[in-house]
Structure 1
Amino acid sequence: MPKPTAQLRTLVITQYYPPEAHGAIPASLARELARRGHSVRVVTTFPNHPHGALFPGWRQRRGHRERDGGVTVRRVPMIVDHSASAARRMVAYVSFGLSVLRETRAARTADVVYVYCAQPTAAIPALLWRRFLGRPFVLHVQDVWPESVTGSDMLPPGVVTNVVSAVVLRALRVLHRAAAGVVAISPGAAQLLIDRGAHPERTSVCHNWGRPDAVPDRAEVDRSPGTHIVYAGTIGPNQGLDAVVVAASRCGDLRDLSFTFVGDGIALDDLRALAVRVGARNISFRPPVGPDQMPTVHAGADFEVIALRDVPMSAITVPSKLQDAMAHGVPVIAAVPGDAADLVVSSGAGLVVDPEDVDELEAAFRAAHATDVAERARFSNNARVTAQRTMNVASATDHLEHVLRKAAA
């Protein structure tokens, strides 16, 4: 096994990478590691999230390589799917993991493998390389499985779901114990991973970070007068956005209060239909935008909605859109429990309500509308300061670089 030097040779595995917005976290980490003088190679797939279709101008092929600043990026094919079918989604996830095995040659020369673990199937090659090549790997766990699947609408409650959960949990115990480092995005998630087999001394917490984009001057953003509340991100069953739509419809008497949903996902059509059904004429829907356009979306928002379904796993989830909003100094209305709620309360970055509680959401929307300029400025400053101190790419890379070096030692 190659011995690590001052220059850490890191192989990054991530199913998501720019131009996908969901790839901002692994991309910014890879770029920062490269900027610090490390050798970084990324293995990812071709952009297809969240639509479940390849981005215009892209086609899947073998041997695709590109450069992202100081980072070498290798894209491998996978079966593309982002439907509501659990079986099809699992086939897609597994196909990416197996396709990454083509990069075994690159793994032989790496000091450590970093897995951006939105799905644990991305860690299949890392586990095999650990077993057969002795290559250490670090898991950066974004979504806790099996609940990310069994807690969604893809798998209904029943015997089959219980069996799937038991099988996945056994596999995850093997994966977590084999990892040289496990990084969770919240304290609650870290404790759950330890309870499920991760070594306590090799498990740590590192909050995700917001995109380090400059925020355009609000005067430069074309917007009508009034209070603008924005939801920007994936529109799926796990976000609990039905309650947001119903609560917004109840605020129709506030003529200068508007709501905008920016994003896409498998729940979009149902959400649009619900808005029509409840007469929410103060809501508009916009298609997703690229990372380079997100600063303008943030600048056009007086408040941003952060929402999750009222399910047990939400208590240990910190949605990445929360860090993005805070990094851009946007006050938030957080319909979330647990770790995410604690973060908003402790920072003073906005308002917190119980998830999927229509009455509380309506009250929060009305309270946001009633805030004056000084109070909004206070929320904004609190959000930005907290993000700069605890949720920025430099401090996160400090933590992850230490974990990677420790794993490679």
Structure 2
Amino acid sequence: MKILIVCQYFYPERFRVNDISFELVKQGHDVTVLTGLPNYPDGVVKKEYKAIRYEDINGVKVYRSWLIGRGKSNKTLFLNYISFAISSSLRVLKLKGEYDKIIVYQLSPVSMAIPGIIAKKKFKKPLIIYAHDLWPESIVSGGIQTIGIVYKIVKRISKAIYNQSDEIWLSSKMFENYFNDYLKIDKPMKHLPVYAEDLFGTIPPRENDGNTNLVFAGNIGEMQSVETILFAANELKHRNDIFFHIVGDGSSKTKCEDIKRNLELNNVVFYGSHPIERMPYYYAMADAFLITLKNNKSISYTLPNKVQSYMAAGKPILGSINGETAQVIADANCGFTVNAEDYKKLANVIEKFTNINNKDELNLNSKKYYDENYSKEKYFWNLSQILKS
């Protein structure tokens, strides 16, 4: 099958679309990716890619469209979104060949689906939007008010884009509620949660040294509410046996480092961003993983990809989070959650975790739930069935 994947982000940027594209090639599909110039998360286009417009990466044909780097401000981020939508739409017009399916691996922004719509009209083939972020709700986490004109405009654009699809794939079950009840989108929808990379399935258990090490790994943005972890750490800084390890980067990292410094949190360590190949080292440090999101109804529909990685590692998850993720952790019986942004109750849950005796049972439950619901084999079997249909 000849598949055109549209996504603003691709290798060397670290997103699951990379591994999915490479695996589809291994399975015999002809895969082309239309993407932008790498600049995530630091916001600056990498020098070595400024002049590159075509690559072959692990058998995937990669076409890169010009864009403005994300930068550090809302203005440059807006220009980043618009520049990719325009330049990649023009690039579609130059693409030659035939495609059987057009898939938009839709992260933020939803405008990355615009070149997919152009491709649908040009090649006269079905357009699938694989939704991993909800729009317009994603802009709310950036401070945009839902009662303002900007939100209303983005909502209208988002609805028009989703309505151009022939089918929508959902990374989270609760996305269907949002599309049906709020955006009034009437399209065929299929639930297709992602899997974790293979390297996360071989994390060794941590030897008991009397301390409890908690690891957060991933993007440190406004939506992730990592400050909730820091405030919980402040509640527990009298405990000299509980430590917080934060691995990643993002728009809120500086703010979180300032909070650590102002609160004099000696129990928190920031490690910055690292290649995915290095992540098993940090995962092996964990007695349990942490996950947080902002207290926002629509954002709570999201199931962050780190949940699958945490479960694949076979360790408990402690969260200050609502919605889909809280439900998954409860169904798996692999950890404990409290309401989003409730740092005091998160601190209480962490202390509760340090005192329980059945940590091994939580580990097993986490791994078992992953194998039964999110494994790579299950994902690609489901994907193949959907593609055939």
Amino acid across the alignment from 1:67: I
Aligned length: 385
TM-score by length of 2: 0.92
Cα distance in 1 for residues equivalent to 2:209 and 2:64: 42
Cα distance in 2 for residues equivalent to 1:336 and 1:10: 36
1:237-269 Cα deviation digits (max 9, x unpaired) = 111222210111221222121111111111111
1:360-405 Cα deviation digits (max 9, x unpaired) = 1110111222234xx2221111111111111123322333333334
Stretches of structure 1 that go unaligned for 5 or more consecutive residues are 1-7
Calculate percent identity across the aligned residue pairs.
22
Aligned ranges for residues 207-218 of structure 1 at < 5 Å? Answer: 207-213=193-199, 214-218=201-205
Q: Which residue number in structure 1 is paired with residue 32 of structure 2?
A: 41
Alpha-carbon spacing, 1:246–1:63, altered in 2? closer, same or farther (3 Å): closer
Cα contact 2:6–2:115 (8 A) shared by 1: no
Q: CA deviation at 1:31?
A: 2.0
Cα contact 2:195–2:308 (8 A) shared by 1: yes
Q: CA deviation at 1:17?
A: 2.1
The reply to whether residue 371 of structure 1 matches residue 364 of structure 2 is no
Q: Which residue number in structure 1 is paired with residue 55 of structure 2?
A: 65
Q: CA deviation at 1:320?
A: 1.1
1:399 aligned residue (361, 382, 385): 382
1:194-243 Cα deviation digits (max 9, x unpaired) = 3324334x112112222221424347x9x976211011111111112222
Stretches of structure 2 that go unaligned for 5 or more consecutive residues are none
The reply to whether residue 111 of structure 1 matches residue 100 of structure 2 is yes
Cα distance in 2 for residues equivalent to 1:324 and 1:47: 23
Aligned to 2:350, the other structure's residue is in SS state helix
Q: Which residue number in structure 1 is paired with residue 5 of structure 2?
A: 12
Q: CA deviation at 1:146?
A: 0.9
2:226 aligned residue (241, 254, 260): 241
Aligned ranges for residues 213-292 of structure 1 at < 5 Å? Answer: 213=199, 214-218=201-205, 226-292=211-277
Amino acid across the alignment from 1:19: P
Alpha-carbon spacing, 1:10–1:390, altered in 2? closer, same or farther (3 Å): same
Instruction: Tell me: higher relative CO, structure 1 or 2? Use CA pairs within 8 A at least 6 residues apart.
Output: 1
Q: Which residue number in structure 2 is paired with residue 144 of structure 1?
A: 134
Aligned to 1:187, the other structure's residue is in SS state coil
- More moved, 188-197 vs 288-297: 188-197
Cα contact 2:102–2:119 (8 A) shared by 1: no
Aligned to 2:336, the other structure's residue is in SS state strand
Q: Which residue number in structure 1 is paired with residue 81 of structure 2?
A: 93
The reply to whether residue 54 of structure 1 matches residue 45 of structure 2 is yes
Q: CA deviation at 1:63?
A: 2.8
Q: CA deviation at 1:50?
A: 1.4
Aligned to 1:89, the other structure's residue is in SS state helix
Q: CA deviation at 1:112?
A: 1.1
Q: CA deviation at 1:350?
A: 0.9
Amino acid across the alignment from 2:323: G
- More moved, 126-135 vs 210-219: 210-219
1:173 aligned residue (159, 162, 169): 159
RMSD: 2.1
Cα contact 2:53–2:63 (8 A) shared by 1: yes
Alpha-carbon spacing, 1:359–1:228, altered in 2? closer, same or farther (3 Å): same
Alpha-carbon spacing, 1:370–1:9, altered in 2? closer, same or farther (3 Å): same
The reply to whether residue 125 of structure 1 matches residue 115 of structure 2 is yes
1:77-101 Cα deviation digits (max 9, x unpaired) = 211114341x431220121222223
2:68 aligned residue (67, 76, 79): 79
Cα distance in 1 for residues equivalent to 2:146 and 2:176: 28
- More moved, 185-194 vs 210-219: 210-219
Q: CA deviation at 1:131?
A: 3.0
Cα distance in 1 for residues equivalent to 2:319 and 2:175: 19
Cα contact 1:194–1:203 (8 A) shared by 2: no
Q: CA deviation at 1:330?
A: 2.1
